[in-house]
Amino acid sequence: MTTTERPSRFDPPASPVAEPFWEATKERRLLVQWCLDCDKAVFYPREICPGCFGANLEWREASGKGTLYTFTVNHLSPSPTGIDGPFAVALVELAEGARMMTNVVGVPVDDLTVGMALQVTWDELPDGRHYPMFEPAGGSS
Ligand SMILES: [Zn+2]
């Protein structure tokens, strides 16, 4: 199957503040911002910390580990993700503390449980970037 035969994920637009995040995904590295004023992770990328309104943010590489904070299952198919069948839209709490809206893959949606341990995995985008998704920690089958 060629990539033209399936629906593909659209190219996520990158705002100027999010450029470092997307550049790092070309090397499959997950970056989050870190607020130096209140010492907390910030995601999604922005100019000002949502916790303390400080502007002293720096980029740090995240561990790629997290837990499933909450999720919903979308039964519409085919999805723009290229995932066949029902797929999970999830809020993943990163080990660093910030939460990321993403997909959980590599596990049947019926086996998803809040609090389960996850690790980042990457979906290649047409322009060389990668979209961060999550799978059960320890790898998928
Ligand atoms: Zn802050």
Strands (E), the chain: 31-35, 40-42, 57-61, 65-74, 87-94, 99-104, 117-124, 130-136
Ligand 1 centroid, distance to 110 Cα (angstroms): 37
Q: Is residue 99 part of a domain?
A: yes
Q: Note the pLDDT of residue 87.
A: 87
Q: Is residue 20 part of a domain?
A: yes
Q: Is residue 141 part of a domain?
A: no
Total number of domains constituting the chain: 1
- pTM of the full structure: 0.86
Q: What is the mean pLDDT of each run of 10 residues along the chain (141 residues)?
A: 54 90 98 98 96 97 98 78 79 97 94 98 93 86 46
For 99, phi then psi, to 5°, come to -110, 145
Q: Is residue 121 part of a domain?
A: yes
CATH (domain of 132): 2.40.50.840
Question: Is the distance from CB of 122 to CB of 134 less than 8 angstroms?
Answer: no
Ligand 1 centroid, distance to 55 Cα (angstroms): 8
Domain that holds residue 103: 3-136
